[in-house]
Amino acid sequence: MMLTDITPLERLATWFERHCNGDWEHSYGITIESLDNPGWALHVELADTEMADAVFTPMKHERSKDDWVHCSVENAVFHGYGGIHNLDEMIVIFLNWVAIEEK
């Protein structure tokens, strides 16, 4: 399978799997939930990972009332919020940031 064949959700699952060490996953994790506007919220807990102290510059993309993304990191948690069709975009923003910081 080529890297381009892997979906953002599969890549996120791989990141999660790398951090499951018999301890981390009992205290931390990833949450994806729906918003009522409608849209999505993505929360990735970073405590006890290599990303715990990494700096993320908050970002906002507001292209329309249905096409928007806001991402930030607060208290070692990545927060992504976006429109109903922006879940993959939020996951990719997280994964691209992680890839840059892990190098």
The residue to which tokens 């729906």 are assigned: 34
Number of domains in the chain: 1
Chain-centre distance for alpha carbon 75 = 15
Range of the domain at 47: 3-102
Beta bridge partners, 69, equal: 61, 82
**pLDDT given for residue 73 in this prediction:** 98
pLDDT tens digit string along 63-85? 999 999 999 999 999 999 999 99
Give residue 89's pLDDT: 97
Phi-psi sector, 40: left (phi>0), alpha (psi -120 to 50), beta:
beta
Q: What is the pLDDT of residue 103?
A: 55
Q: Give pLDDT, residue 2.
A: 52
pLDDT computed for residue 22 by the predictor: 87
pLDDT < 70 positions in the chain? 1-4, 101-103
